[in-house]
Chains A and B, each alone.
Chain A
């Protein structure tokens, strides 16, 4: 019996160490940084029209609003945002422009160790200040940004790495290059993987669980059980990105799509950990999130979930993809010729 528990502890410890502490390449983090940064910039830019209308003194969302709505005896979350201390349009516009600058620098990978936490502060400030206007998108965005702060997301495909390379070529930097695998990269990637799988599982379980607390249970039809959910999403007047109501004549397609959504979200959380099935699940994820973006009303959520899935890709595979995307030497030569 004692041997069994000794062996169990050893096996668990070894598996834990292998999972969390095997150094990993920073390339997937860099790809996630660029993609997440672009999404954060886009969301930030969409605030440009409304920031004054929403946040100025006498705007739609006064600072006291969160305190009144989410009173749990805690600090008003809006107080955690620097935007809560700015009141005039000019102050808000300046802060908005600076925030955009920080997000841009984070995206291009300039001093990533500093700009990544700053970019997280920018995004969280908008979330906390305008909590009542946030949707399913923001928790996934800030989750990715938080984990990018933990790893060396600017070690490659960044201005930082380009500057370092240039210094080496000029002989300014003579220290040996740093190792290409990092413990912190693995921890950040693993956290993104675990969190993404958890979020996906919860989305699936929520659909199976139903709303709960229904007043009129007899009249309720379980939209995810009967296969009506996709139709309901498509038929909402304001939310869908494209009009798919022509699918009304194909009830089996609507029902199959509905069930496929639930099946995927439950299966993904389990099967993505299997190396053999992982490519299949990641391919399915792209199709799933791509189609859901059309009708869910939150296409950015789909984009972010696909970005989060990059954490599951092997660096070797990612590098080969990126190499293929690079211009071929012949094309480069032709471009130089044209430029000359």
Chain B
């Protein structure tokens, strides 16, 4: 076995240890409860920019599902309100409301659809966090309405969670209707200085979409 010179090995060992340390920090600071020490490790000079630059600031803890509300597929849409009206009664649909889905119906191939699902997932994940919950809806709604050429009125943005079918219900052999979507985030869209500004409907926490609204869609 012919090894490189000891000088080269020393340099490489140092670089390897630095890289492995950065990976260690990425894992411990992104996984589980974050203690003070674990967060302080992120502040070691150079570590966070290095991880962020290389897209390695993650713990690779891909659980896929957890048996929680996050397991749902999410879907975002803008409901256009003719005449700028946005009362709850009108938001349910009706002949005059038009729905713009975030993800096109014929989206192909799969990885393209996954991006739209991730946008909706992140919208749902931020719902409830006062600091950021309206940031993504504002950007998405502005883009969707601009694409459609809508520049005025008051419309409705909402993020729906689509439940996985329950196994017991599916196994019962009775004809089942699809599980109803649950409204995770809902906001009125008002024209602002830099696009559309979502104003969250304060009475909405999380509720099941009404069957009539679902049927109309």
Residues of A within 8 A of B (CB): 16-18, 20-23, 42-43, 46-47, 49-50, 53-54, 58-62, 65, 68-69, 72, 74-75, 77, 80, 124, 127-128, 130, 132-140, 142-143, 146, 183, 187, 191, 194-195, 198-199, 202-203, 205-207, 209-212, 214, 220-224, 226, 228-229, 231-239, 241, 245, 248-249, 251, 254, 296-301
Residues A248 and B109 in contact in the complex (CB < 8 Å), given A60-B144, A133-B115, A211-B70: no
Please name 13 further chain A to chain B contacts, defined as beta carbons within 8 Å, in addition to the given A58-B146, A300-B111, sorted by A numbering. A21-B12, A54-B143, A62-B142, A65-B136, A77-B52, A136-B62, A139-B58, A198-B23, A202-B31, A202-B59, A210-B66, A235-B167, A249-B171
Instruction: Determine if B114 is an interface residue (Cβ-Cβ < 8 Å).
Output: yes
User: CA of A59 to CA of B58 in the docked complex: distance in angstroms?
Assistant: 27
Q: Would you call B171 and A237 a contact (CB within 8 A)?
A: no
Using A133-B119, A209-B32 as known contacts, say yes or no to A238 and B73 having CB atoms under 8 A apart: yes
CB distance from B100 to the nearest CB of A (A): 12
Known contacts A132-B118, A138-B55, A238-B73; A21/B3 CB under 8 A: yes
Which 8 pairs across A and B sit closest by C-beta, in order of nearness?
Answer: A223-B67, A206-B61, A60-B143, A235-B164, A199-B60, A238-B73, A133-B115, A206-B63
- A251 CB contacts on chain B under 8 angstroms: 167
Structural contact, A236 and B164, CB atoms closer than 8 A: yes
Q: Decide yes or no whether B195 CB sits under 8 A from chain A.
A: yes
Which residues of chain B from 128 to 184 have a CB within 8 Å of any chain A CB? Answer: 132, 135-136, 139-140, 142-144, 146-147, 162, 164-167, 170-171, 178
Which B residues touch A136, using CB under 8 A?
A: 62
Report the separation of the CA atoms of residues A134 and B75 in the bound assembly, to the nearest whole angstrom.
Answer: 16
Q: Inside 8 A of B114's CB, which chain A residues have their CB?
A: 135, 137, 297-298
Q: Is the pair B111, A17 in contact by a Cβ cutoff of 8 Å?
A: no
**Which A residue sits closest to B107, measured CB to CB?**
A49
Q: Please indicate the chain B residues that have their CB under 8 angstroms from the CB of A42 in the complex.
A: 111
Residue of B nearest to A249 (CB): B171
Contacts of B12 in A (CB 8 A): 20-21, 187
- B27 on the A face (CB < 8 A): yes
Which residue numbers of B lie inside 8 Å of A, CB to CB?
1-4, 9, 12-13, 16, 19-20, 23, 27, 31-33, 48-49, 52-56, 58-68, 70-73, 75, 109-119, 122, 126, 132, 135-136, 139-140, 142-144, 146-147, 162, 164-167, 170-171, 178, 195
Residues of A within 8 A of B49 (CB): 74-75
Residues of B within 8 A of A231 (CB): 164, 167
Taking CB atoms, residues of chain A closer than 8 Å to B52 are 74, 77
Within the complex, the shortest CB–CB distance from B160 to chain A, in Å, comes to 11
Number of A-B contacts (CB under 8 A): 202
* Neighbouring A residues of B23 by C-beta, 8 Å: 195, 198
The 5 listed contacts between A and B (C-beta, < 8 Å) are A60-B139, A124-B54, A138-B55, A202-B59, A235-B170
User: A46 vs B111: C-alpha distance in the bound complex, in angstroms?
Assistant: 7
Q: Is the CB of B65 within 8 A of A229?
A: yes
CB distance from B45 to the nearest CB of A (A): 13
With most chain B CB atoms within 10 A of its CB, the pick from A187, A211, A221 is A211
Alpha-carbon gap, A233 to B64, bound state (A): 8
**In the complex, A231→B167 CA distance in Å?**
7
Pair A205/B55 contact, Cβ less than 8 Å: no
Q: Which of A18, A68, A202, A254 contacts B60 (CB 8 A)?
A: A202
**Which interface residue of B19, B61, B62 has the most chain A CB atoms within 10 A?**
B62
Residues of B within 8 A of A59 (CB): 143, 146
A87 to B147, CA, bound (A): 15
- Determine which of A132, A191, A207 lies in contact with B119 in the assembled complex, contact meaning CB atoms within 8 Å: A132
Beta-carbon contact of B135 and A203 below 8 Å: no
A239 in contact with B73 (CB, 8 Å): yes
Residue from A16, A69, A128 with most neighbouring chain B CB atoms (10 Å): A69
Tell me how far the C-beta of A147 lies from the nearest C-beta in chain B, rounded to whole angstroms. Answer: 10
Chain B residue with the shortest CB-CB distance to A67: B135
- List, in ascending order, chain A residues with CB within 8 A of B162's CB: 236-238
Cα–Cα distance between A234 and B167 once the two chains are bound (Å)? 10
List B contacts of A224 (CB < 8 A): 63, 66-67
Q: B135–A65 contact, CB under 8 A?
A: yes
A210–B12 Cα distance when bound, in Å, is 38
CB-CB under 8 A from B68, the residues of chain A are: 211, 214, 220
Which one of A23, A132, A206, A229 contacts B62 once the chains associate, using CB atoms below 8 Å?
A: A206
Complex Cα–Cα for A251 and B112 (A): 32
Structural contact, A233 and B62, CB atoms closer than 8 A: no
Of chain B, the residue at the smallest CB distance from A123 is B55
Tell whether, in the assembled complex, residue B111 and residue A137 are in contact, meaning their CB atoms are under 8 Å apart.
Answer: yes
